[in-house]
Amino acid sequence: MDRIANAFAQARSEDRACFIPYVCACDPDFETSVSICQEMVDIGVDLLEIGVPFSDPLADGLTNQLAAQRALDSGSTHGKVFELVRRVRERGDVPIVLYTYYNLIFSQGIESYVQDAKAAGVDGLLTLDLPPEEAGELVESCRKHGLSNIFIIAPTTPHKRIPLIVESGSGFVYYVSREGVTGTRDQVVVGLQEAVDRIKEYSKLPIVVGFGISSQDHVREVSSVADGVVVGSAIVNCIPENIDDICLIPSAIGRKVRELMTGLH
């Protein structure tokens, strides 16, 4: 069963975009992270994007850098990330994509990592710093084991590279809505419709937009153009805001996610 394809098909049948929240695994600790993800699944998010904690997250802004640091300080490991996925998978069939960096995969052995991810219940890998020109071994392994490879297209991506990127990718295409790193922004970048249309010239994969989307209005604007909307920092910010009483974090994130999801309709 292709859970990612099913999620986008279900959203299309309801004439809306998919809502995709991002959180970092094991932030602020393992059990709270499990509760956060289970809360979002119970609310009815369409797909979960779970960050793998990394000491040098070059695509992330301060909010997600601090999230990764909290997770590492709490003792996050590869094993705990996969155990988190297994615990969330017990809750249902929501697709799960790991947001990660190539060294975290390569250092474990590509084939071994992909097998472990698949066994845990992962549906796809979004490897931030791996261009398709260098991704052959990972793409081959993921295809063999039934995992999607999600690649990024940015505003600075040359037009001629788009066919190469979408040919290597599967699951969906991730369009970074602005230059720079993750983080909340005051407004959605202009020219989004044109960018999405340009990608659709070369691919029938769903197009998801992320980076800088932080409000209900942003979700509404992006969902009118794209097949999916990713919100990260605005959700992750609920963790430090409630860090003095971590029992409050899952419900705080639940309220934020519900608020953001109203922008889909």
Secondary structure in 3-state letters for the chain = CCHHHHHHHHHHHCCCCEEEEEEECCCCCHHHHHHHHHHHHHHCCCCEEEECCCCCCCCCCHHHHHHHHHHHHCCCCHHHHHHHHHHHHCCCCCCEEEEECHHHHHCCCHHHHHHHHHHHCCCEEEECCCCHHHCHHHHHHHHHHCCEEECEECCCCCHHHHHHHHHHCCCCEEEECCCCCCCCCCCCCCCHHHHHHHHHCCCCCCEEEECCCCCHHHHHHHHCCCCEEEECHHHHCHHHHCCCCHHHHHHHHHHHHHHHHHHHC
Contact 82, 112 (CB under 8 A): no
Give the integer Cα–Cα distance in Å for 81 and 86. Answer: 9
pLDDT at 212 (0 to 100) = 82
Provide the token pair at 9.
């098909």
For residue 184, pLDDT over 60 is answered with no
Q: Which residue has 């998919």 as its token pair? A: 18
**Residue tagged active-site, from 60, 123, 221, 227:** 60
Give the range among 121-135, 167-181, 194-208 with minimum mean pLDDT.
167-181
Q: CA-based diameter of the chain, in Å?
A: 50
CA angle 112, 58, 203 (to 5 degrees): 70
Give the integer Cα–Cα distance in Å for 12 and 8. Answer: 6
Amino acid in the structure at residue 128: L
Provide the token pair at 207.
């197009």
pLDDT at 189 (0 to 100) = 64
Give the integer Cα–Cα distance in Å for 245 and 240. Answer: 10
- Mean pLDDT along residues 229-245: 95
Query: Where does residue 186 rank: exposed (0-12), middle (13-18), buried (19+ CB within 10 A)?
Result: exposed
Give residue-wise pLDDT tens across range 97-149: 999 999 999 999 999 999 999 999 999 999 999 999 999 999 999 999 999 99
pLDDT at 31 (0 to 100) = 98
Contact 149, 135 (CB under 8 A): yes
Q: How confident is the model at residue 180 (pLDDT cuts 50, 70, 90)?
A: very low
The verdict on whether 60 is a catalytic residue reads: yes
The percent of residues above 90 in pLDDT, for the chain, comes to: 86
Q: How many residues comprise the chain?
A: 265
pLDDT at 178 (0 to 100) = 56
Contact 138, 110 (CB under 8 A): yes
The verdict on whether 186 is a catalytic residue reads: no
pTM > 0.85: yes or no: yes
Give residue-wise pLDDT tens across range 77-93: 999 999 999 999 999 99
**Residue tagged active-site, from 27, 49, 123, 227:** 49
CATH number 3.20.20.70 is the correct assignment for the domain at 3-264: yes
